[in-house]
Amino acid sequence: MSTQQEWIITRSEFNPQKIHHDETVFTIGNGYLSTRGSFEESFPEENAATFIHGVFDDIPVVFTELVNVPNWLDCVLILDGERFRLDYGEILDYENQLDLSKATLTRSVKWRSPAGKAYQISFERVICLHEQHLLLLRVGINPLDGDAEVIFRSGINGCVSNEGYVHWKHKAQSVQPGRGWLSLVTKKSETGLGMSFSLKSSLPQIKMQAWNMDMHPVLNCSGFIPSQEVLWFEKRVTVYTTRDVQEPIHASETLLGQLKASSWEDLISAHQKKWQQVWTQSDIEIDSEDDAQIAIRYNLFQLLIAAPWQDEQVNIGAKTLSGYGYHGHVFWDTEIFMLPFFTYTQPQVARNLLSYRYHRLAGARKKAKENGYLGAQFPWESADDGEEVTPTWVQHPTDRTKLTRIWTGDIQIHVSADIALAVWRYGQVSGDDKFLHERGIPIILETALFWESRAEWNEINQTYQFSDVIGPDEYHDHVDNNAYNNFMVRWHFRIAEQAAHLLQAHEPDLYAGLVDQLGLSDSRMQHWLEIANHIYFEQDALTGLIEQFQGFFQLEDLDWKSLEPRSESIQSLLGIEATNQVQALKQADVLMLFYLFPDAFPSQIMAVNYDYYNARTDHTYGSSLGPSIHALVACQLGKTEEAYQHFIRSAHADLYDVRGNAGDGIHAASAGGLWQAVVFGFGGLRVDEYGYHCQSRLPKKWRRLRFRFCYRGEWITIQIPGQEVRE
Ligand code: IFM
């Protein structure tokens, strides 16, 4: 095991300007819920939030959003008549620490009140992994200048909103010395929530009064702390929703009662043991001169705390459960960027994530039908019911008096092929044939039907084409024949034909059911292959350059240097329309194909295209989905040091707020891409139908790399330089 410093994220200074960034950085969770790293005692203009997977409610414009649930931290601390909060008094010493190995957030503040008395105050926060409905908080108060009179109030605060929008209606509540509970329901989706809490103090002279305030059961604790003694409060919170059980309050009260017999130490040790197991599978060790070790662990930690360990009806939003960005909506970010990490290190989570798509086929069928297509068309943004939830209009990024039309929900259609690819790759790596046969192949076939009806025959070119789409590079919309889109569709048709025959051979009854349901036939599948073989895909015979979409090479080349120095994206500098007219990319597009299909292109072709598109990509201010892919492709081309620069950009995206928007939540796709950049890029792992092998290339600053993965039930450890160990 590595040294402690390689597991701990520390802030030793409080910077109120960075509060929203830090709230995101110090998010903790357990795959059921997450809580941002805001302070127990609150802070003005904080963005405190706790989100539970799957708890959505309606909201105008963006249709539905994850709901900020009652604040379970909820503390007011008054010391000798002065309220403790970091905007009052003086901070003499400060340390905020996230221990990634134990998933524990601790904060210790030496504080001088406005009246001049000093106190040491500490907090320890845990969202249990071994019991996903249990949250723990400990607060320690140590007066440093003589006795202190203390008032400590804590409960469950249901007066919360999503940045001003209130989703909760009151049902019932109760509080008595030692414990209380709150029952609420969301206004539109009618999801019920029950939260219970218990509170105890370490000193007998502390008196406890129950305050039953509106939507806010609270315990008011008061008394004296003798000089130099530490007063501890221990709070336990249990939470259920009607997504879990019929009677959430009954369940939260029962669990709280059952846990009475367990000590704080017992609970913490069970939680830590579970995390140890998780890290045994998912950790990456990097011995290097840089901060790659802590950065990779931090990114993996953020994926792991958002991973639905026990729920196949939810998925991971683009910002995990760590912020308001994208309202909890799910994108291709899951399948293309995050999923490989889970497929290779936590396969049951990958299965849950893909099962979410299977259970949302009804929404995808509806979308296809409404658009006049066959089969299933997955939405660009998905949430609770799997219907399209991409907003149609949003506020203009620079001129707030204007609205901007968002086209992704209408025409960014590659997501259906992205999901099919993730399904197939999961099946290949995990060997989970049951999933593949019962859920995976039905997804692949139903989405193939969508592509069949979406393909357009062009009599003049004698090609099948896809006009009016958006590819991964969202700086260009309404384009024809995006190379990524078309290549993915070609792959999709070919794999659909193979998958159908595989199912027919192994599960004839399931296959017969699909034949009936989807109208499959040999001639239909021949037609799929026919489309695949005639899909438009333009590659310059002389240069080997693949055109990102029809007409891309005719666009004006941008003079990037003339725009430097800059601190915003090309799109916000030039405007949406002007950016559409130049060869500037928000993120990898053609290069995505080299990352996903490294064996499909000769390296010379990859190199030519990498050089061309890499030079035309808005790496720092474009999409956070870009750098990890550029890192990976650069590795494939042996440009290891260039890959390293891209890797660092992705590794620091949230830790150092590279794009200035980390306050909205974790860039989950970047985190998932980072794992791939290390394992597939620097580690050089390749898995195909014949097995796996590694062709590693470490950057100069790295001395050693070690990772594990599971291939068809067998755990393999790769150490570079060094050996491969099969367990
Ligand atoms: O899915 C991405 C997209 O590729 C770029 N814009 C942000 C989305 C959510 O992360």
Domains belonging to the chain, first-starting first, are: 8-280 (2.70.98.40)
Q: What tokens were used for 295?
A: 């950065």
Categorise residue 42: left if φ over 0, alpha if ψ from -120 to 50, beta otherwise.
left
Query: Separation of 517 CA from ligand 1 center, angstroms?
Result: 33
| Pocket flag, ligand 1, residue 666 (CB < 6 Å) | no
CA-333 nearest atom, ligand 1 = 1
d(CA 682, CA 471): 27
Residue 530 C-beta-side C-alpha neighbours within 13 Å: 11
What pLDDT was estimated at residue 722?
79
Secondary structure of residue 39 in the 3-state scheme: coil
Q: Is 474 in the pocket of ligand 1 (CB under 6 A)?
A: yes
Report how far residue 696's alpha carbon sits from residue 715's, in angstroms, rounded to the nearest whole number: 19
List, in order, residues 6 or more apart from 375 with CB less than 8 Å away.
Answer: 365, 368, 445, 446, 447, 448, 449, 450, 451, 452, 453, 518
Active site members: 474
Helix (H) or strand (E) holding 294: helix 292-304
Residue of 585, 623, 666 to test ligand 1 pocket, by largest number of atoms within 8 Å of CB: 623
- pLDDT tens digits for range 559-591: 999 999 999 999 999 999 999 999 999 999 999
Checking if the pLDDT of 457 tops 60, the result is yes
Residue 664 CB less than 6 A away from ligand 1: no
What are the φ and ψ backbone dihedral angles of 284, each rounded to 5 degrees? Answer: -125, 130
> Separation of 389 CA from ligand 1 center, angstroms?
14
Ligand 1 centroid – CA 194 distance (Å): 34
Residue 3's pLDDT band, with cuts at 50, 70 and 90, is very low
* b/e sequence 127-157, b meaning 16+ C-beta within 10 Å: bbbbbbbbbbbbbbbbbeeeebebbbbbbbb
**With a 6 A CB cut-off, is 625 part of the ligand 1 pocket?**
yes
Position in ligand 1 atom list of the atom nearest CA 331: 1
| Beta bridge partners of residue 238, listed in sequence order | 134, 196
What residue owns the CA closest to ligand 1's atom 4?
A: 472
Q: Compute, in angstroms, the gap from residue 247 CA to the centroid of ligand 1.
A: 37
Gap from CA of 48 to ligand 1 centroid (Å): 24
* CB of residue 318 inside a 6 A radius of ligand 1: yes
Mean pLDDT over 697-709 rounds to 97
Q: What percentage of residues in the chain have a pLDDT greater than 70?
A: 99
Q: How confident is the model at residue 689 (pLDDT cuts 50, 70, 90)?
A: confident
Tokens of 719: 């150490």
So what's the pLDDT on residue 482?
A: 98
Ligand 1 pocket test: which of 316, 331, 628 has the largest number of ligand atoms within 8 Å of its C-beta? 331
Confidence of residue 607 (pLDDT cuts 50, 70, 90): very high
- Tell me the per-residue pLDDT of 150-164, one tens digit each, with 9 for 90 and over: 999 999 999 999 999
Q: What residue type is 641 in one-letter code? A: E
Closest residue CA from atom 5 of ligand 1: 623
Cβ 331 under 6 angstroms from ligand 1:
yes
Going by C-alpha positions, the residue among 326, 327, 357, 521 that lies closest to residue 424 is 357
Which among 330, 332, 333, 337 is the best mutation to test ligand 1's pocket, defined by most ligand atoms within 8 Å of the CB? 333
Pocket test for ligand 1, best of 625, 650, 659 (most atoms within 8 A of CB): 625
State the pLDDT at residue 395.
86
Cβ neighbours of residue 483 closer than 8 Å, sequence gap 6 or more: 471, 537, 538, 546, 547, 548, 549, 589, 590, 593
What are 511-524's pLDDT values in tens digits?
A: 999 999 999 999 99
Quick count: other Cβ atoms within 10 Å of Cβ 247? 14
Q: Of all atoms in ligand 1, which is nearest to the CA of residue 319? A: 10
174 and 181 Cβ atoms separated by less than 8 Å = yes
Measured from the CB, is residue 470 less than 6 Å from ligand 1? Answer: no
* Least confidently predicted of 2-16, 488-502, 648-662: 2-16
pLDDT at 458 over 50: yes
Report the separation in Å between the CA atom of 381 and the middle of ligand 1, taken as the mean of its atom positions: 10
Q: Is 507 in the pocket of ligand 1 (CB under 6 A)?
A: no
The rounded Å distance from CA 236 to ligand 1 centre is 37
* CA atoms of 351 and 357, how far apart (whole Å): 10
* Residue labelled with tokens 């539970």: 52
DSSP state of 539: B
Average pLDDT rounded to a whole number, residues 208-233: 97
What element of type H or E holds 633? Answer: helix 626-636
Per residue in 549-560, pLDDT tens?
999 999 999 999
Percent of the chain at pLDDT > 90 equals 96
For ligand 1, the distance from its centroid to the CA atom of residue 331, given in whole angstroms, is 7
Q: What's the CA-to-centroid distance between 458 and ligand 1, angstroms? A: 31
Q: What is the DSSP string of 221-281?
A: EEEEE-TT--EEEEEEEEEEETTT-S-HHHHHHHHHHHGGGS-HHHHHHHHHHHHHHHHHH
Q: Which residues contact 445 (CB under 8 A, 6 or more apart)?
A: 375, 496, 499, 500, 514, 518, 520
Is the CB of 352 within 6 Å of ligand 1? Answer: no
- pLDDT for the residue numbered 2: 38
631-670: pLDDT as tens digits = 999 999 999 999 999 999 999 999 999 999 999 999 999 9
Among residues 664, 675, 673, 671, the alpha carbon closest in space to that of 328 is found at 664
269/723 Cα distance (integer angstroms): 33
* Per-residue tokens: 448: 């193939």
668 lines ligand 1 (CB under 6 A): no
- Look at ligand 1, atom 9, and give the residue with the nearest C-alpha: 318
| Type and span of the H or E element at 288 | strand 284-288
Mention every residue, 6+ apart, whose C-beta is less than 8 A from residue 123.
Answer: 40, 105, 106, 107, 108, 137, 138, 139, 140
Mean pLDDT, the chain, whole residue set: 97
Strands 702-711 and 714-720: antiparallel
The pair of three-digit structure tokens given for residue 659, joined into one six-digit string? 């794009």
Structure letter (DSSP) for residue 547? P
> Quick one: pLDDT at residue 329?
98
Closest C-alpha to 48, from 125, 152, 140: 125
Closest atom of ligand 1 relative to the 326 alpha carbon: 9
Mean pLDDT, residues 684-688 taken together: 92
pLDDT range class, residue 4, cuts 50, 70, 90: low
The residue whose CA has the least distance to atom 6 of ligand 1 is 623
Instruction: With cut-offs at 50, 70 and 90, classify the pLDDT of residue 725.
Output: confident
- Give me the sign of the Cα torsion angle 248, 250, 252, 255: negative
Say how many Å lie between the CA of residue 406 and the centre of ligand 1: 13
- Taking residues 88-94, report their average pLDDT: 98
Atom of ligand 1 nearest to the CA of 586: 5
C-beta of 321 in contact with ligand 1 (< 6 A): no
CA distance 476 to 382: 22
For residues 440 and 421, give the distance between their C-alpha atoms in angstroms, rounded to a whole number: 10
Is residue 669 in contact with ligand 1, taking CB distance under 6 Å? yes
